[in-house]
Structure 1
């Protein structure tokens, strides 16, 4: 399941984050790629060990984890530290699959939080390979794309402007993607029913199903 989540960051948050990143020193991004992905990764990344960025990463992680749609779709147990990336003209990230383990954390889901206005740069689409063909994403600034870390994907070359993004990975309480999607659909329907009719017998029955499936499948 690919899920676009709007407004992870509001305008004030976005301006503060972009302003901070525009004043940040970026290094060669290939240093954080696996041995095979390093061959096709051509971007820049903010230094992981820069103390002044710790608060920024924590703020972004809090906004992501605090989003109710993200919570329902990802069922997050933990996030990896966020990577803050910058693509300038001529930069891209060729086709690759993410490492299954990062820092000892299993990566079930990946996400990209878009930080640049899509009209401010050309190219730079995130392209994900799916059974039905490729899907291309270039979201509004402050929006997030959540997708399975198991996919082959790439970032198309940026041809003008620059592309800023925060990237991270999720270890989910629900390892199986089809079960995560089933729980997401069930909980979405349950909440919609509550909004329309309140706490009914039907709502209670769906709540029982949702809770017991979560008990059956969750890894705590």
Structure 2
């Protein structure tokens, strides 16, 4: 599933993040990946232990978890603290796949990366290039969203970021372990949930809407791992 979630961050929050990130202490992004990833990664990141990254990451996480579409799509069990990256001056990240198991800084508890998320902080007209390209069985999909919008996709997808040839691309990114391991099952549950919401808005809580809601929760009960 590849999903565009609009307006995750309010304009005021977005402006504050922009201001804080512009003055932040950025490091070489290759320090956070293994030898294979380091060959194709050219960007800068805030260190996970940077106080600015910790503070702003908590604000992003709170906003994301309040968004009903994110919850419906990701069905989050655990969410790693959001990180921040910056692409400029030809910076790019070649085709790669995210690690299957990750750990939060200071924690020994592993997290299975089921869902990847990128929250755009720069407006698309502020930079050239920098598209997130996500590959699946239907081909490659190009993503470049307005500031404050987010894309959610299966962490098992091959993906890349094209070179940024003008300006700077700021973004936040993070991974989620879902209650439902299968991307196909999460996709079905999301479509069913959104259909129920539309029917409820149009017709109220009819007997048919109640029945579909029951099917949704029974499928979630069958597939969820908590």
TM-score range for the pair, normalised by the shorter chain length: over 0.9
Runs ≥4 residues deviating over 4 A? none
How many residues align? The count is 220
- Residue aligning to 1:73: 73
Equivalent pair of 1:34/1:99 in contact (CA under 8 Å):
no
- Residue aligning to 2:12: 12
2:101 aligned with 1:101: yes
- Mapping for residues 33-48 of structure 1, pairs under 5 Å: 33-48=33-48
Gaps of 5+ in 1: none
TM-score, reference length from structure 1: 0.98
Q: CA RMSD in A?
A: 0.9
**Is the partner of 1:36 in helix, strand or coil?**
helix
Task: Note the alpha carbon deviations across 1:90-111, whole angstroms, 9 max, x for none.
Answer: 1100010000001111000101
2:168 aligned with 1:166: no
Equivalent pair of 2:53/2:83 in contact (CA under 8 Å):
no
Equivalent pair of 1:4/1:144 in contact (CA under 8 Å):
yes
**Is the partner of 2:148 in helix, strand or coil?**
coil
Equivalent pair of 2:92/2:161 in contact (CA under 8 Å):
yes
TM-score, reference length from structure 2: 0.95
Q: Distance in 1 between matches of 2:209 and 2:35?
A: 50
Gaps of 5+ in 2: 104-109
C-alpha deviation, 1:53, in angstroms: 3.1
2:219 aligned with 1:213: yes
Task: Note the alpha carbon deviations across 1:79-99, whole angstroms, 9 max, x for none.
Answer: 112120001111100010000
C-alpha deviation, 1:132, in angstroms: 1.9
